[in-house]
Amino acid sequence: MSFFLVFLAILLAGGLAWFAVDVARGSSRGNQPEGLAEPPADLAPVLLPEHPNPEDIDAIRFALAFRGYRMDQVDQVLVRLRDRIGVQAALIEALTAQLKSTRASGIRPGGADGAVHDG
């Protein structure tokens, strides 16, 4: 029984010493910083030209962050690509509708001068 009490006293003293060191270092849970600091960028910001082409997309390089690529850079590029694809899709739709209406009216596109002639 006396060995058990000695063992218990040693555990209690060790726990108190651990707690005292933790409080002295200021690393208790209330003093922890909120999240991680933003890592410094090791690459220039990802910029795309106004009208990106496949080579521009192939050349994209994102800076590595703690959890992979920097999400803000990836999000920015994806928004630009989404907007550009939306503009191109709308243009294709408008040109397709114009072509259908031209074919339906029986008018054929003109020669090299761009004039429209009645067929």
Count of domains for the chain = 1
Domain that holds residue 64: 40-107
Q: Is 79 among the domain residues? A: yes
Mean predicted confidence (pLDDT) in 18-44:
68
Which comes out higher in pLDDT, residue 112 or 42? 42
103, pLDDT greater than 80: yes
Using CB atoms within 10 Å of the CB of residue 95, give its burial: 0 to 12 exposed, 13 to 18 middle, 19+ buried.
Answer: exposed
Using CB atoms within 10 Å of the CB of residue 92, give its burial: 0 to 12 exposed, 13 to 18 middle, 19+ buried.
Answer: exposed
Q: Is 22 among the domain residues? A: no
Q: Is 48 among the domain residues? A: yes
38 in Cβ contact with 67 (< 8 Å): no
Q: Is 74 among the domain residues? A: yes
Q: Is 65 among the domain residues? A: yes
Mean predicted confidence (pLDDT) in 45-73:
77
- pLDDT band, very low/low/confident/very high, at 93 (cuts 50, 70, 90): very high
- Give the pLDDT score at 36: 65
Q: Is 76 among the domain residues? A: yes
Query: Cα separation of 69 and 16, whole Å?
Result: 43
Q: Is 119 among the domain residues? A: no
Predicted TM-score of the model (pTM): 0.42
